[in-house]
Homo-oligomer: A and B are copies of this chain.
């Protein structure tokens, strides 16, 4: 990274998006792109793109633009996607299973190593070749298996207890799908996916559009 200044979360949220577009360009065998071309593709202004990237280093070349392969690699490295992550999923309902399948399908450095549930009907099953273990054994598992990310797919009422266990077990990040706000140990990253909040925002905009038509 270029310097120690804190990068705003607005920038960080844009990085995965840059990366997605660069991946597409790679697939099309494009090998260079200017901030202007990227701008018309992604929709951010060219200067914002240049400024965003400049937070991390001067990846472009004057008169040339950005080399797609190397910029892709740089952004991947900034995001930490050049590394492997061991994950566990707690809560093996439909959503948990879907996430297991999702990360399985989008092969990458993120690997679900185990799943946990309290439901005896699920314990012992294999989903995408991942065993569903008894939630009782989560502490023990974390003690013996270094785990980077805990994925919370439980209901609201169990979520905080699960997160406490995960944090104490040494995970570095929580990916939370439970519809509640969680407290994590200092130094643990938290990323929420609040599906109901998302759906409710959508409802707001639908209604606003309806009202504008009157």
Question: Residues of A at under 8 Å CB distance from B?
Answer: 12-13, 15-17, 19-20, 42-43, 78-81, 83, 85, 93-95, 97-99, 101-103, 106, 110, 148-149, 172-173, 175, 179-181, 187-189, 191, 193-210, 213
Contact = CB atoms under 8 A, between A and B. Distances in A.
29 contacts: A13-B197, A15-B204, A16-B201, A20-B197, A42-B181, A78-B204, A79-B203, A80-B204, A85-B206, A93-B101, A94-B97, A95-B98, A95-B102, A102-B195, A110-B199, A148-B206, A149-B206, A172-B210, A173-B203, A175-B202, A187-B209, A188-B209, A189-B202, A189-B205, A189-B208, A189-B209, A191-B199, A193-B193, A193-B198
Contact of A80 (B81, B191, B207): B207
Contacts of A181: 17, 42-43
A13 B194 CA distance: 11
Given A16-B194, A43-B181, A173-B206, 10 more contacts: A12-B205, A17-B194, A19-B200, A93-B101, A94-B94, A102-B195, A106-B196, A149-B206, A191-B199, A193-B198
B200 A15 contact: yes
A20 B156 CA distance: 11
